[in-house]
């Protein structure tokens, strides 16, 4: 049963706003153990032609959010609240045929593991071509030519031969290229890349990210890049959204979030990364504790059990009141610490490290 609420009728348009706007999105799954609050009151915007990097641990709701944009959850077990506007079209509660027309056409998605994500039973060319046939009404011949063109565009050598091969005859990097070719075959406005490089080795990873960047420059595609790798975000994204327990912890431009992080969780993420400049003997500092259960998330700020600073906030705000991201626009975070307190903690940090 899908309980959906929206402020206006689905399919109606709204005045010019951001290219993609997610407003107060909540996604709950009913499981045998209870209701999982996978996404809980998430809002963010993406401007046309930019790349938004979404980072966070496993289970922070990154993938769930993006599958919701495409309406790919099983409606029988999912409850969705909130709004998702894509250029004035409301996607939450949109009917199946409207979503089918959208998927692979205006909004395309690439997944983490290109081997399991491609059908083992059909040739690469057919899998690329059928998207084109479905959405553009192309003939078999046109679809095949388009598939070859796309394979060439994503840098697969001998595309005219490769088009008739099966996924198992491709290497990991090639498969992901083929996957990207498939996603871009209809020139989508929005590309959602769900950990596109996690299953690839480092050199291939760099090639794939470069490819995405090049394609974006050429075609002005808007990209949402889901990753848990801050290095990938630093190289590719314009804006960053840090997610924790299904909510936004921090949001801003890449420069703001990576060089002036303001949420304790982002600090933790950044200090858990190895640095080339530090000595190899210095142990990494992980974020202590484990991600919270989304069946029964902690009251107040979901991060408080792992946070070192609730006592600085003074009252029991962190334990009882859920923080919202502030300020409304620009660089913001969901934390009760004052700017001064954050500055003090950060300088202390740097002193410690020095």
Partner 1 sequence: MTSFLVRRVVGAIVILILISLITFYLFYAVPRDPARAFCGKICPPETLELVRHNLGMDKPLFVQYWLWLSAIFVGRDFTQFGPCPAPCLGYSFATQQPVFSAIVDRFPVTLSLTLGASVVILSFGILTGMLAAWKVGQPLDKIASSSSVIGASLQIYFVGPLVVFFLVDTLGLLPRPSYVPFTEDPLTWFVHLLIPWVVLSIIFTANYTRMTRSQMLEQLAEDYVRTARAKGMSGRSVFFRFAWRGAMIPIITIFGVDLATLLGGAIITEQTFTLHGIGELAVRAVQNTDLPMLLGVTVVGAAAIVILNIVVDVLYAFIDPRVRLN
Residues 6+ apart with CB under 8 A from 294: 36, 37, 38, 59, 61, 245, 246
- Please tell me whether residue 113 binds partner 1 under the rule CB under 8 A: yes
- Please tell me whether residue 100 binds partner 1 under the rule CB under 8 A: yes
Q: Please state the closest distance from residue 147 (CB atom) to partner 1, in A.
A: 13
Of 14-22, 108-116, 259-267, 312-320, the window that binds partner 1 (rule: CB under 8 A) is 108-116
Closer by beta carbon to partner 1, 116 or else 285:
116
Site string for partner 1, 57-96 (x = CB under 8 A): -------------x-x---x-------------------x
Collapsed DSSP state (helix, strand, coil) of residue 319: helix
Q: Determine how β-strand 51-55 pairs with β-strand 239-244.
A: parallel
List phi, psi (to 5°) of 319.
-90, -20
Of 28-36, 49-57, 102-110, 207-215, the window that binds partner 1 (rule: CB under 8 A) is 102-110
Strand order in the sheet with 34-46: 34-46, 20-31, 78-86, 89-90
Strand order in the sheet with 190-194: 107-110, 190-194, 222-227, 51-55, 239-244, 247-253, 332-333
Collapsed DSSP state (helix, strand, coil) of residue 99: helix
Q: Please state the closest distance from residue 89 (CB atom) to partner 1, in A.
A: 15
Of 19-27, 131-139, 311-319, 332-340, the window that binds partner 1 (rule: CB under 8 A) is 131-139
Q: Which of residues 321-350 bind partner 1 (CB under 8 A)?
A: none
Residues forming the site for partner 1 (CB under 8 A): 70, 72, 76, 96, 100-105, 108-109, 111, 113, 116-121, 130-131, 134-135, 166, 168, 179, 182
């Amino acid at each position: 049963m899908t309980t959906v609420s929206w402020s206006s009728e689905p399919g109606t348009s709204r005045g010019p706003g951001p290219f993609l706007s997610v407003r107060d999105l909540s996604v709950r799954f009913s499981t045998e153990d209870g209701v999982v609050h996978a996404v809980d009151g998430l809002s963010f915007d993406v401007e046309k032609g930019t790349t938004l990097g979404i980072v966070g641990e496993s289970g922070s709701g990154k993938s769930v959010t993006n599958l919701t944009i495409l309406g790919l959850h099983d409606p029988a077990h999912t409850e969705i609240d909130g709004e998702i506007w894509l250029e004035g079209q409301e996607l939450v509660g949109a009917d199946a045929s409207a979503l089918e027309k959208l998927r692979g056409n205006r909004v395309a998605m690439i997944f983490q593991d290109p081997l399991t994500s491609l059908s083992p039973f059909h040739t690469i060319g057919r899998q690329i071509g059928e998207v084109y046939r479905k959405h553009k009404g192309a003939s078999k011949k046109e679809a095949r030519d388009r598939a070859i063109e796309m394979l060439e565009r994503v840098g697969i050598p001998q595309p005219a031969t490769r088009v008739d091969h099966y996924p198992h005859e491709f290497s990991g990097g090639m498969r992901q290229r083929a996957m990207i070719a498939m996603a871009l075959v209809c020139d989508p406005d929005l590309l959602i890349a769900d950990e596109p490089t996690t299953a690839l080795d480092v050199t291939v990873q760099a090639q794939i990210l470069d490819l995405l960047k090049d394609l974006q420059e050429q075609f002005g595609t808007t990209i949402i890049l889901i990753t848990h790798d801050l290095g990938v975000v630093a190289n590719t994204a314009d804006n960053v959204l840090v997610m924790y327990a299904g909510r936004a912890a921090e949001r801003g431009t890449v420069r703001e979030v990576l060089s002036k992080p303001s949420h304790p969780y982002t600090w933790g993420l950044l200090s858990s990364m190895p640095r080339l400049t530090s000595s190899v003997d210095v142990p990494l500092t992980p974020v202590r504790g484990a991600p919270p259960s989304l069946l029964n998330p902690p009251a107040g700020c979901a991060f408080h059990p792992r946070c070192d600073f609730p006592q600085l906030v003074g009252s029991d705000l962190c334990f009882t009141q859920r923080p919202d991201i502030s300020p409304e626009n620009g660089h913001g975070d969901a934390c009760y610490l004052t700017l001064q307190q954050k500055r003090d903690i950060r300088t202390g940090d740097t002193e410690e490290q020095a």
